[in-house]
Amino acid sequence: MQVGNPANLPLFHVGSVPVYGDTVLAPMTGYSDVPYRALCRAYGSAMNYTEFVPVETLLGKRSRNRFWMRLDKKPDEHPIIFQIFGNDAQRLLQAAQTILDLEPDIIDVNMGCSTRKVSGRGAGVGMMPQPELVAQTFSLLTKYLPVPVTGKIRLGWDADQRNFLQIGQIMVENGAALIAMHGRTKTQKYGGKADWDAIAQLKQAVPVPVIGNGDVQAPADIDRMKTHTGCDAVMIGRAAVGNPWIFARRDKADLTFADVATAVRLHLGEMVAYYGDWQGLVTFRKHFKQYMSGYAMPEKQLACLLRTEDVDEFLQVLAEMEASTALATGQ
């Protein structure tokens, strides 16, 4: 399902990798796992990022821990971008080389995470006040990796250090194939208003594709951002949680409960297939709360759905709710 591309031609390329749509699921810790990426892809996400992985966890003994699991993917999941973070160029290269056998289409350096434990040690957005580190990192990775290398950035550290244009130029001069930018500074985190004018400035300044990110809350915002900034694609994060329809440019307010129930079943099915029955259902609860946001639900049924550890019971109660809603609304 790709929207606005009836000829099925690439809308842009990341290096040699073709991208066929203009909406992209953001890398979100705790959310952008294999099941949710699969669902969002079905609804139109054209390119998926993994949750970010610290380089330190990739340089030791390989094991199926929570960090290595972030690099799991479906066999047909393309393009897939493995996102890593660190504060040392050589270790970033070593980590990237370590995961090449998992066959990522693209490797991305996270330079946008604003959490203290990441940025405070010079990783994530903490790389942006270090132009030399950015240059060294992209120079090494693009020289020694056989796949395109990209980066996700913010405006800068704070209002006095909005150096996104400098960092963008350094990235491109050292081989970056794409830049994704969240239109806020580190100190803003997710507060205030995203600066779409800055995204437009970056797009005009660099010869590679630019993905815009920030304050896309509804389908109409996708085209507004593209028109305002000229960006090649729009990255959607928090607004996509419990709302995969945004990638298909469908407003959740226009959906029937049957539409929602269909997505819930699809998503739960992916969760159970990947995590197993119990863990899949329990992990799904945080998503289910978001799916049900805005719907008035009987307390007894809602409590059952959020408490049960039995997949069949969950699906039975969901089906009862769907039937009663259809009866009440005539849908």
Burial class (CB in 10 A: 0-12, 13-18, 19+), 218: middle
Q: Which amino acid is at 161?
A: Q
Q: Are 22 and 4 in contact, with CB atoms under 8 Å apart?
A: yes
- Rounded Cα distance between 331 and 329, Å, is 5
Give 206's DSSP letter. -
- Rounded Cα distance between 1 and 42, Å, is 6
- Rounded Cα distance between 125 and 90, Å, is 18
> Which of 40, 113, 231, 304 is an active site residue?
113
Known catalytic membership, residue 113: yes
Q: Which amino acid is at 171?
A: M
CA angle 248, 249, 253 (to 5 degrees): 110
Helix (H, G, I), strand (E, B) or coil at 165: helix
The residues annotated as belonging to the active site are: 113
